[in-house]
Amino acid sequence: MDLLFSHAIVRTPGPDAGGGLTTASLGRPDIPLLLAQHAAYIEILRALGLEVTVLPPLPGCPDAYFVEDAAVMTPEVAVITRPGAPSRRGEIESIESVLAKMRPVARIEAPGTLDGGDVLRVENRFYIGRSERTNDSGAGQLGRILEKNGYEWRVVPVGSGLHLKSSVNTLGGRDLVFAAGTPFLDAFEGCRSIVLDPGDDYAANALWINGTLLVPFGFPEARWKIEQLSRPVIDVAMTEMRKMDGGLTCLSLRF
């Protein structure tokens, strides 16, 4: 049974949002369009019944609107991460001040690094990607915090791609969507997999919100495959976030 979300935290992109980290060669984001797409994303979350807290831009932290990377939320605890990219570490103080009002806080400490984009919950188990951003220490620290709170956890070597959730996401329960050629499919035994076509990798970052599936606009084959689950699907324009390696999940913390 999936836990339903009642809240989301997002952060408005700042005027410096084009100065964040990226591996994409898609050009710089158009900031007015980025803001419009971000505002539309917020409206979708609200239309799905979530109470959305919108944090202001964080000066000097151009990637801070990818709030998912700065924390991992469970009903019991808010885990403040230690992002793998040093340029993103300035984000955590601000997110901690917000989350500390909502949950007991735990922290990933040095030498651990962990990005929330590497953390995927499937029912009672958390899959933690070991990636360019998340190391063994960070994954282990998070795992032990989760274990204390009654969860199972498993480390998955991500191989290529930015984060674990760049390649796999839940579509509800144990239904998962994978990018083509994902090397770690075996780690998810017992789950039902939809594997997208080569070229549709970006659409593997689909987002389940209380039974509705958000998918990035512009991937008709991926959308068709996901629609076969007979759950409502909403297309979301993500062209400008994609230029900064951002996807649907990273724009919010949901709980």
Catalytic residues: 163, 250
What string marks each residue from 22 to 41 as x (binds ligand CIR by CB under 6 A) or -?
x-------------------
Chain-centre distance of CA 8, in angstroms?
12
The answer to whether residue 85 forms part of the interface with ligand CIR (CB under 6 A) is: yes
The two tokens of residue 191 are 């789950």
Give the binding range for ligand CIR (CB under 6 A) out of 41-49, 99-107, 188-196, 244-252.
244-252
| Min separation Cβ 14 and ligand CIR, Å | 13
Decide: 143 and 150 in contact? Cβ < 8 Å.
Answer: no
| Min separation Cβ 165 and ligand CIR, Å | 6
| Min separation Cβ 168 and ligand CIR, Å | 12
Name the residue nearer to ligand CIR (CB basis): 225 or 243. 243
Decide: 215 and 236 in contact? Cβ < 8 Å.
Answer: yes
d(CA 28, CA 186): 36
The answer to whether residue 161 forms part of the interface with ligand CIR (CB under 6 A) is: no
Name the residue nearer to ligand CIR (CB basis): 147 or 217. 217
Site for ligand CIR in 112-141 (CB under 6 A): 117
d(CA 191, CA 193): 6
Neighbours of 125 (CB within 10 A): 16
The two tokens of residue 78 are 């808010």
